[in-house]
Structure 1
Amino acid sequence: MDHQAVNQSKFIYWASGIVSICGIVFEVLFGALGSYILGDGVKQYTLTISLFLTGMGVGASLSEKVLKRLIVAFVYIEFLVALIGGFSSFAMFGITAFSPAGSDAVFLYLITFIVGGLTGVELPILIRKANELGVSLNRSTARVLFSDYAGGLIGGLLFVFFLRPYLGMVKTAFFVGLINITVALVVLWLFRKDIKKLILHFSVGTIIVILLLAGFIFGEEMAFTFEQKLYKDPIIHLEESKYQKIILTEDEGDVRLYLDGQLQLSSIDEFRYHELLVHPTFAQAEEHKQVLILGGGDGVAAKEALKYEDVESITLVDLDPAVVQLAKQNRWLLDLNEGSLDNEKVQVVHMDAFEYLEQSEKWFDVILVDLPDPNNESLNKLYTKEFYSLVRNHTNPGGAFMVQATSPVFATDVYWTISNTIASTGVHTENFHTDVPSFGNWGFVLGSRNPIEVENLTIQVDTRYLTTKMLEGLTYFGKDEDAEIIQADGEKVEIPVNSLIDPILIQLYENAWKYY
């Protein structure tokens, strides 16, 4: 093999590794897009991985028909992967904003299959080309596959720890597309002596490079306008942290916080939510010295807890530092939380709530569980019997805890399953609900080792909404939402318990909210 052939064969192995990195990044990117826009992370990752691999299988089969001009075929496959994959996230946000419901899912699944198919064509072509250059088939196959598998690992790590946190989903797609087109152009140059119409191929590649660069520079800003269509009010802050997309909107003084598209609070009525979350819990607890807030990175629950003079320490556990940092710096959120997160009594811990309770040896008088709804597997574990057992075990014998538990109107089965799951840990429970205009009718579950007598609970601090007299009334539910025993075809059935082994709550949640 001459010197040029040696260089060409070496780059083929490098190319196989690089395009494999790009392929795995596109694969997990499509899963992340589906999880963010369509919900149910496991479902979306399962579908995208399955479709991508099926596409690869179809592509590998079709590669048998590519018998001539292998390098030109490979180059144009890379052109297509770069163009389609590069614009995938940008197009997904546009379709979600402007097209009929369901079209975004069809688009995502179709583009996943297509990019998977193109990826599946790449490796067989590279293996055959390496064989043409004088490398034995067994050796070329082994080397290309090694580069492919190693590239897959690198791609996954890059997406999780660098691309998604620092570039976001739109820029990541364009960036990876630029890598694909770069590989194609380098291959064109290395094999230029064997390729006809070289200028034409370079011209096509150059046009795609210009399109991808324009997308990388301007695409995120345009996608921002697409995303604005998904929200009622103008977006005043958009940030994609390591864990989630954080959005603030504001219109005529109504500031709303969204995490991964889910509304977390509205400034016009958050006090209805937070006062019911906090004050009945303090009324039930015998002491208030040590307080634990799980979630609540916006700092509003902490503000309500600080109204009690006997509070000595508040530990706030929130996974995402970006949310807490925003709550400490954004003037709108500071107006809501009154700077509570900078109070000397408040200690912020950035950690998964489940892991914190597993590792902590502290006991608390009051625990407030202010976590996002259980719409994916990582959140579902925070609504299981195992999690609530940990909450119970960290509650002092005279203490109490309150859990936000979604809507008993819109998600009746979900609410009562959460309530029954908490009760299954052996604690006494009481159910509350109230109208929060931005959310609708919202439910909470109070838990305590001591019996709960609502008529004896008193609100001891100043509030904007909640009074002692109304507490008992908030424990009554209408016929269409009172489901201590859920009716099924006229027969009484037991309310299930959500657990790590049997995570039934995710499906219940998806079924409940799909029409809202």
Structure 2
Amino acid sequence: MSDTPKDSGPAPDGTGPRVSPREVWLLTATFLVAVAGLIYELIAATLSSYLLGDSVRQFSFVIGIFLASMGLGAWASRYVRDALPGFVWVQILLGVIGGFLAPVIFALYAWTGEVELPLYTMLIAVGALSGMEIPLIARTLAAIGAPQFRFENVLSFDYLGALAASLAFPVLIVPHLGLMSASLTFGALNLAVAGLSLWIFRAHLSLAPLALWTVAALATGLGLWQAERLVSLTEAALYEDDVILSEDTPYQHITLTRFRDRTRLFLDHSIQFDSYDEYRYHEALVHPAMALTPAPHNVLILGGGDGMALREVLRHKVKTVTLVDLDPRMTALFATHPDLTALNGNSFADPRVTVRNQDAWTFTETSDQSYDTIILDLPDPKSLSLSKLYSREFYAILTDRLASGGVIVTQAGSPFYAREAFWSVAATWETTRNPYAPGAGLTVIPYHTLVPSFGDWGFVLATPEDPAPRPLTLPDGLRYLTQTTWEKAQVFEADTARIEAEVNSLRDHALVRYYETGWEKWFR
């Protein structure tokens, strides 16, 4: 870049080459743009896992496509004749495309249902522009005569920026900004880099980038000012009812909606309960297992951070209940929000209850306690990270924590919409080793019931010992489950009856494939 002034010469004290302010700025800019670039990548990966499911696959796709796009951008940078103006243009374009990544994708999802094509198109654009940054900065540093310029110094600042972004994203950015504001904030960061570069090198840049920068900065500022309104408008289009809470946590996106006296919970935009009919699901999940356990004094619940299953467990004469849920915000919300504690009977305040905010696998593997009843109220197995909690390996760990005569029950999805997935869960339990009868499997009772919010929903109950054939002893005050209901629940119609399905294991995760195939047939 022939018109860029060189900043060479000795330091004032004569001890070595002088480090110019422009060189310091360009290395600082390298750090800042690396932070912004990785944040865009993480936002895209999180959006795809929220809206498309299967977080492992989506994160893998996003990372691969982003890195490939960066390679394309690095290659294309050779065709940028003047490095400094090119770098400024790249920052402005990143500020616009990266900054409006989340708002555009959320809006398109809400109003059209389309996610993949726009998401990956914008991701490729952001990746290509990000790939151009380092070559252009390196060329600019060389052009200004940076003393003893070394390309690895630029890469070091780039990698440090990526590290800072990866640490800050789950701990600070998502919980405090949310995806919409985070996207716009880091778009503003790219625009700030462009603006400072325009000022520092003002004598050597034209007015054209300044004009576009001004428009982009105004649009981004407006977007940040109206970020909460943008979220509200998007979610109003997504949900039928009024959104009373919308919050990103390091683990998921929590949304609560209300219409009159009806409350619904959505995690990552998938419904978890409707207060009109959640009692059907939770009574069916909890009470058969509790009733078939001879003495259900110590109970373990995995998942169930809304406290609804806990509410049902506390109807029985239990001594202790341990609830393990990964997301501390989830359990805190349902333990303190007055509208929500009314739904779960203020169950978290019961002195018999202990809450552990841990990964279910880690807790179970490291626990030295035994439990009379274990209840798995976990999200559907739509990703590898969730499928592991439906695997034969995890089930074997659970049976080691089960007291003699104990019972385990899990929600197992819909035997109608995802028939193979449901029966895969049953087959997995049947082939899980029996700790009290080496060489034998477990006794399994599959059953299902109608939950209007979900459709035909299934559960699998497993026990090392054949339960005695006796009527269920149920607590007073149930709204749905009776002995007759329980007997009918164990009958499957022809289109939901048992079919052959593979056992789910960590080696092949057959359940994820069954789950995706089943639901996509109906809803994609």
- Confirm or deny a common fold (TM above 0.5): yes
Partner of 1:120: 131
Moved over 6 A (4+): none
Distance 1:501 1:277 in 2: 28
Which of 317, 331, 337 is equivalent to 1:330?
A: 337
Partner of 2:190: 180
Distance 2:449 2:280 in 1: 8
In the TM superposition, what is the alpha-carbon distance from 1:377 to its structure 2 partner? 2.3
In the TM superposition, what is the alpha-carbon distance from 1:154 to its structure 2 partner? 1.5
In the TM superposition, what is the alpha-carbon distance from 1:76 to its structure 2 partner? 1.1
Which of 176, 183, 194 is equivalent to 1:166?
A: 176
Partner of 1:449: 464
RMSD in angstroms over aligned alpha carbons?
A: 1.7
Partner of 1:492: none
In the TM superposition, what is the alpha-carbon distance from 1:293 to its structure 2 partner? 0.9
Distance 2:96 2:475 in 1: 62
Deviations 1:199-230 (A, max 9, x none): x5434323322221221221232132112222
Distance 1:468 1:141 in 2: 74
Which of 493, 508, 514 is equivalent to 2:514?
A: 508
Partner of 1:262: 270
1:195 and 2:195 aligned: no
CA distance change for structure 1 residues 460 and 342 in 2, over 3 Å: closer, same or farther?
A: closer
Partner of 2:366: 359
Q: Indicate the SS of the match to 1:238.
A: strand
Q: Indicate the SS of the match to 1:159.
A: helix
Partner of 2:282: 274
Partner of 1:302: 310
Deviations 1:401-447 (A, max 9, x none): 11000000011011011111112112211011000111111000111
Partner of 2:35: 21
Contact 1:308 1:461 in 2 (8 A): no
One-letter amino acid of the structure 2 residue matched with residue 72 of structure 1: P
1:432 and 2:447 aligned: yes
In the TM superposition, what is the alpha-carbon distance from 1:330 to its structure 2 partner? 2.7
In the TM superposition, what is the alpha-carbon distance from 1:165 to its structure 2 partner? 1.6
Which of 129, 135, 141 is equivalent to 2:151?
A: 141
Deviations 1:30-51 (A, max 9, x none): 0111111111112221221122
Distance 1:326 1:71 in 2: 50
One-letter amino acid of the structure 2 residue matched with residue 451 of structure 1: D
Distance 1:92 1:292 in 2: 39
One-letter amino acid of the structure 1 residue matched with residue 382 of structure 2: N
1:313 and 2:324 aligned: no
Q: Indicate the SS of the match to 1:463.
A: coil
Distance 1:444 1:219 in 2: 41
Distance 1:443 1:93 in 2: 32
CA distance change for structure 1 residues 460 and 7 in 2, over 3 Å: closer, same or farther?
A: closer
Partner of 1:413: 420
In the TM superposition, what is the alpha-carbon distance from 1:453 to its structure 2 partner? 4.9
1:395 and 2:408 aligned: no
Deviations 1:144-175 (A, max 9, x none): 11211222111211212211121110011111
Q: Indicate the SS of the match to 1:134.
A: coil
In the TM superposition, what is the alpha-carbon distance from 1:136 to its structure 2 partner? 7.1
Deviations 1:266-294 (A, max 9, x none): 11111111111111111111101101111
Contact 1:255 1:267 in 2 (8 A): yes
Distance 2:123 2:394 in 1: 36
Distance 1:279 1:144 in 2: 62
Contact 1:392 1:427 in 2 (8 A): no
In the TM superposition, what is the alpha-carbon distance from 1:454 to its structure 2 partner? 5.3
In the TM superposition, what is the alpha-carbon distance from 1:264 to its structure 2 partner? 1.1
In the TM superposition, what is the alpha-carbon distance from 1:480 to its structure 2 partner? 1.0
Contact 2:305 2:331 in 1 (8 A): yes
Q: Indicate the SS of the match to 2:296.
A: coil
Contact 1:90 1:220 in 2 (8 A): no
Deviations 1:216-247 (A, max 9, x none): 22123213211222222221221212211111
Q: Indicate the SS of the match to 2:157.
A: helix
One-letter amino acid of the structure 2 residue matched with residue 247 of structure 1: T
Contact 1:429 1:452 in 2 (8 A): no
One-letter amino acid of the structure 2 residue matched with residue 150 of structure 1: L
Deviations 1:60-97 (A, max 9, x none): 121111122x2111111100000111111001111001
One-letter amino acid of the structure 2 residue matched with residue 384 of structure 1: S
1:30 and 2:37 aligned: no
Which of 63, 71, 88 is equivalent to 2:84?
A: 71
Distance 1:453 1:29 in 2: 52
In the TM superposition, what is the alpha-carbon distance from 1:312 to its structure 2 partner? 0.7
Aligned-residue identity in percent: 36
Partner of 1:207: 215
In the TM superposition, what is the alpha-carbon distance from 1:118 to its structure 2 partner? 0.7
Partner of 1:465: 480
Q: Indicate the SS of the match to 1:86.
A: coil
Distance 1:84 1:235 in 2: 28
Contact 1:406 1:443 in 2 (8 A): yes
Q: Indicate the SS of the match to 2:90.
A: helix
One-letter amino acid of the structure 1 residue matched with residue 452 of structure 2: P
In the TM superposition, what is the alpha-carbon distance from 1:378 to its structure 2 partner? 2.0
Q: Indicate the SS of the match to 1:229.
A: helix
Distance 2:115 2:302 in 1: 34
Distance 1:53 1:241 in 2: 26
Partner of 1:491: none
Partner of 2:162: 152
Distance 1:144 1:219 in 2: 34
One-letter amino acid of the structure 2 residue matched with residue 43 of structure 1: R
Distance 2:484 2:76 in 1: 73
One-letter amino acid of the structure 2 residue matched with residue 123 of structure 1: I
**Structure 1: where are the runs of 5+ without partners?**
487-494
Which of 472, 477, 482 is equivalent to 2:492?
A: 477
Q: Indicate the SS of the match to 2:173.
A: helix
Instruction: Please report the TM-score for the alignment, with normalisation by the length of structure 2.
Output: 0.92
In the TM superposition, what is the alpha-carbon distance from 1:398 to its structure 2 partner? 1.1
Please give the residue correspondences for 1:370-385 in structure 2 after superposition, counting only pairs within 5 Å: 370-385=377-392
Distance 2:171 2:165 in 1: 10
Partner of 1:44: 58
Give the number of aligned pairs. 500
